[in-house]
Amino acid sequence: MDPITIGLAFSAAQTAVSHIKQAIALGKDVNSLVGQFSKFFESSDAIHRARTKTQSKASRLGKTDAELGKEALEIAMHSDALRQAEKELKNLIIWNLGKPEVWEHMTKERIRLFKERAIAEAEETNRQIQKKKEAADRVVFAMVFLCSSAVVFCMVFVGIGIYGAIEEQKIYEKKVADRNAVLRRQAKEREAKEKLERENYAKN
C-alpha cells in the first residue's frame, strides 16, 4: 500500500470507531453497527497486512532509506493505534453492553474469513507458480526442439555432403575405369593390327 492509501485506510478506521462509540453511547443496538464494524476491520486489517509486507520486504525500488523508514514507522504506528482501538471496542461490547457473545461471534467470523482468504491467496499463488512453470517448460521444450532440429539438420546436411562426395568418387572411378578400358581396347586393336601387318609382310 502507498502512503496515501494507508492514510485513507487509517482515517476510515478511525471514523468507523468514532461512529461505533457514539452509537453505543446513544444506546443503539450493536447489531445495527455491522456496517461500521466491517469498515473498521477492513481498514485495520489492510494496515496490519501492509505492516507485515513492509517487514518482509525491507527494500523497495525507487525509494530512499529515509522514505522507507518513514513509511514503515507510519504503518507500525497506525497498526498499533488500531489494535488499541480494537481492544476498546471489545471492552465496550463486553463490559458496557454486556454482550461478549457478539464479540466472540465477530472474532470467529473474522478468523474464518482470514482462513478463506489465506487459502484463496495460496491457491492463486500456486496457480501463478504453475503458470510460470508451464511457461518455462514450454520455453525449455521449444529450445530443446530447436536445438534438436538444428542437430538433425546438420546431420542431414553432413550426410548429404558425404553422400554427394561418395557419388562423385564413384562417378570419377567409373570414368577412369571406362577410360582405361578404352585404352586397353585400343592397345589390343593396335597390337592385332601390327601382328596382322607383320604376318602379311612375312608372306610377301
Per-residue tens of pLDDT for the chain, all 204 residues:
667 788 888 888 899 899 988 988 888 887 788 888 888 888 888 887 877 765 545 445 566 777 778 778 888 888 898 899 999 989 988 888 888 888 888 888 888 888 888 899 889 999 999 999 999 888 888 888 888 888 888 888 888 888 888 888 888 888 888 888 888 888 888 888 887 877 777 776
- All structural domains of the chain with their residue ranges: 3-98
Tell me the pTM. Answer: 0.54
**Residues 30, 96: Cα–Cα separation, whole Å:** 11
